Structure 1
Amino acid sequence: MNARWFRSPTLHPCTLALAVSAYIALAFNLPFYLALERIFQQLEHVDYGFVASIPLFVIAVLNLVLALCCWKGITKPLVIMLIISSSLVSYTMLTYGVVFDYGMIENLFETNPAEAGSYLNLNVVLWLTITALLPTLVVCRVRLCQRQTLAGELLHKAASVTLSVLCVLAIAFFYYKDYSSVGRNNSYLKTMIVPTHFIYSSAKYINNTFLTTPVPFETLGQDASQSPLAADAKPTLMVIVVGETARSMNLAYNGYSRPTTPFTQDKNLISMKRVSSCGTATAVSVPCLFSPQTRSGFDGKRARNQSNLMDIFGYAGIDSVWKDNDGGSKGVAKRMSYLPVDPSAHPQFCEGGVCVDEVLLEDFDTQIDAMQGNRVVVLHLIGSHGPTYYQRYPQSMAAFTPACNSNNIETCTEQELVNVYDNTIRYTDYVLNQTIKRLQGMSDRYKTALVYLSDHGESLGENGLYLHGFPYGLAPKQQTTVPWLMWFSDAFSRDKGIDRQCLVKKGEQAELSHDNFFHSMLGIMDVHTSLYQPQLDLFADCRQ
Structure 2
Amino acid sequence: MKEKISLSKFTLIISTLNFLLFHYGFFNFVFENIDTKSFNGILMIVSLLILMVIANFFAFYLVLFLTRIVGKILLSITFLLSAISVFFINTYSIIVDESMIGNVFNTNYEESSSFFSFKLILYILFMGILPCIFIFKTKIEYPTVKQFFKTWGLSLLPILLLVGINAQNVLWIDKNSKYLGGLAMPWAYSVNTALYFVHKAQENREEIPLPDAQILNNEKSVVVLVIGESARSQNFSLYGYEKNTNPLLSQTEGVTHFPATSCATYTTAGVKCILSHNDSGDLYEILPNYLDRTGVDVIWKSTNSGEPPVKIEKYFNGNDLRKDCEGEDCGYDGILLKNLKEDILGSTKDKILIILHTSTSHGPLYNTKYPIEFEKFSPVCTSVELGNCTPTELINAYDNTIVYTDYLLHKVISELQDLEGYKSSMIYISDHGESLGEKNLYMHGLPMSIAPKEQYEIPFIVWTNNGKTKTLKSANQGCIFHSVLDFLSIGSPVLEKELSVFGK
Bin the TM-score by the shorter chain.
over 0.9
- Corresponding residue number in structure 2 for 1:392: 369
- Corresponding residue number in structure 1 for 2:445: 469
Separation (CA, whole Å) in 2 of partners of 1:236 and 1:43: 66
Residue of 134, 137, 157 corresponding to 2:133 = 137
- Give the length in aligned residue pairs: 498
Amino acid at match of 2:211: G
TM-superposed deviation, 1:395: 1.6
TM-superposed deviation, 1:219: 1.0
Separation (CA, whole Å) in 1 of partners of 2:444 and 2:114: 15
What are the superposed Cα offsets for residues 2-39 of structure 1, whole Å, 9 maximum, x if unpaired? xxxxx655234444333222222232111111111011
Is it true that 1:56 corresponds to 2:56 in the alignment? no
Is it true that 1:455 corresponds to 2:431 in the alignment? yes
Q: Is the 8 A contact 2:6 2:142 kept in 1?
A: yes
Q: Is the 8 A contact 1:269 1:485 kept in 2?
A: no
In structure 2, the CA distance between the partners of 1:308 and 1:168, relative to structure 1 (3 Å rule), is same
In structure 2, the CA distance between the partners of 1:440 and 1:8, relative to structure 1 (3 Å rule), is farther
Residue of 214, 231, 234 corresponding to 1:246 = 231
SS in 2 for 1:34: helix
Separation (CA, whole Å) in 2 of partners of 1:434 and 1:217: 34
Separation (CA, whole Å) in 2 of partners of 1:156 and 1:359: 66
SS in 1 for 2:251: coil
Separation (CA, whole Å) in 2 of partners of 1:329 and 1:221: 26
TM-superposed deviation, 1:170: 2.6
TM-superposed deviation, 1:50: 3.3
- Corresponding residue number in structure 1 for 2:103: 107
- Corresponding residue number in structure 2 for 1:28: 22
Is it true that 1:185 corresponds to 2:163 in the alignment? no
Separation (CA, whole Å) in 2 of partners of 1:9 and 1:448: 78
Separation (CA, whole Å) in 2 of partners of 1:484 and 1:177: 45
TM-superposed deviation, 1:57: 0.5
Residue of 256, 281, 292 corresponding to 2:241 = 256
TM-superposed deviation, 1:378: 0.5
Q: Is the 8 A contact 1:271 1:485 kept in 2?
A: yes
> CA-atom RMSD, angstroms?
2.1
Q: Is the 8 A contact 1:238 1:449 kept in 2?
A: yes
What are the superposed Cα offsets for residues 126-180 of structure 1, whole Å, 9 maximum, x if unpaired? 1221211211121121123324xxxx2x2232133213211112323433323x1
SS in 1 for 2:415: helix
Separation (CA, whole Å) in 2 of partners of 1:272 and 1:441: 22
TM-superposed deviation, 1:413: 0.3
SS in 2 for 1:245: coil
Q: Is the 8 A contact 2:107 2:306 kept in 1?
A: no
Amino acid at match of 1:84: L
Separation (CA, whole Å) in 1 of partners of 2:291 and 2:36: 53
Residue of 278, 284, 297 corresponding to 1:319 = 297
- Corresponding residue number in structure 1 for 2:347: 371
Q: Is the 8 A contact 1:221 1:307 kept in 2?
A: no
Separation (CA, whole Å) in 2 of partners of 1:386 and 1:213: 29
- Corresponding residue number in structure 2 for 1:225: 214
* Larger CA deviation: 388-397 vs 452-461: 388-397
TM-superposed deviation, 1:215: 4.5
- Corresponding residue number in structure 1 for 2:328: 349
TM-score (norm 2): 0.93
Separation (CA, whole Å) in 2 of partners of 1:176 and 1:513: 40
What are the superposed Cα offsets for residues 401-429 of structure 1, whole Å, 9 maximum, x if unpaired? 00002222110000000000000001010
TM-superposed deviation, 1:252: 0.3
TM-superposed deviation, 1:44: 5.7
Separation (CA, whole Å) in 2 of partners of 1:213 and 1:258: 43
Structure 2 residues without counterparts, runs of 5 or longer = none
Q: Is the 8 A contact 2:333 2:360 kept in 1?
A: yes
In structure 2, the CA distance between the partners of 1:237 and 1:139, relative to structure 1 (3 Å rule), is same
Separation (CA, whole Å) in 2 of partners of 1:93 and 1:512: 32
Is it true that 1:67 corresponds to 2:71 in the alignment? no
- Corresponding residue number in structure 1 for 2:198: 207
Separation (CA, whole Å) in 2 of partners of 1:323 and 1:329: 13
Taking every aligned residue pair, what percent have the same amino acid on both sides? 25
Is it true that 1:488 corresponds to 2:453 in the alignment? no
Is it true that 1:157 corresponds to 2:133 in the alignment? no
Q: Is the 8 A contact 1:287 1:332 kept in 2?
A: no
Separation (CA, whole Å) in 2 of partners of 1:161 and 1:538: 62
Q: Is the 8 A contact 2:432 2:455 kept in 1?
A: yes
- Corresponding residue number in structure 1 for 2:501: 538
What are the superposed Cα offsets for residues 437-488 of structure 1, whole Å, 9 maximum, x if unpaired? 111222x242221000000000000001000000111000000000000111
* Larger CA deviation: 10-19 vs 23-32: 10-19
- Corresponding residue number in structure 2 for 1:122: 118
- Corresponding residue number in structure 2 for 1:88: 84
Residue of 294, 303, 307 corresponding to 1:330 = 307
Separation (CA, whole Å) in 1 of partners of 2:9 and 2:278: 50
Separation (CA, whole Å) in 2 of partners of 1:371 and 1:42: 67
SS in 2 for 1:426: helix
Q: Is the 8 A contact 1:319 1:376 kept in 2?
A: yes
Is it true that 1:266 corresponds to 2:266 in the alignment? no
In structure 2, the CA distance between the partners of 1:16 and 1:525, relative to structure 1 (3 Å rule), is farther
SS in 2 for 1:449: strand
TM-superposed deviation, 1:520: 2.0
Amino acid at match of 2:175: N
TM-score (norm 1): 0.87
Separation (CA, whole Å) in 2 of partners of 1:344 and 1:335: 20
Separation (CA, whole Å) in 1 of partners of 2:11 and 2:490: 61
SS in 2 for 1:265: helix
In structure 2, the CA distance between the partners of 1:334 and 1:11, relative to structure 1 (3 Å rule), is farther
What are the superposed Cα offsets for residues 328-376 of structure 1, whole Å, 9 maximum, x if unpaired? 352242344201123453353378xxx3111111222222233222101
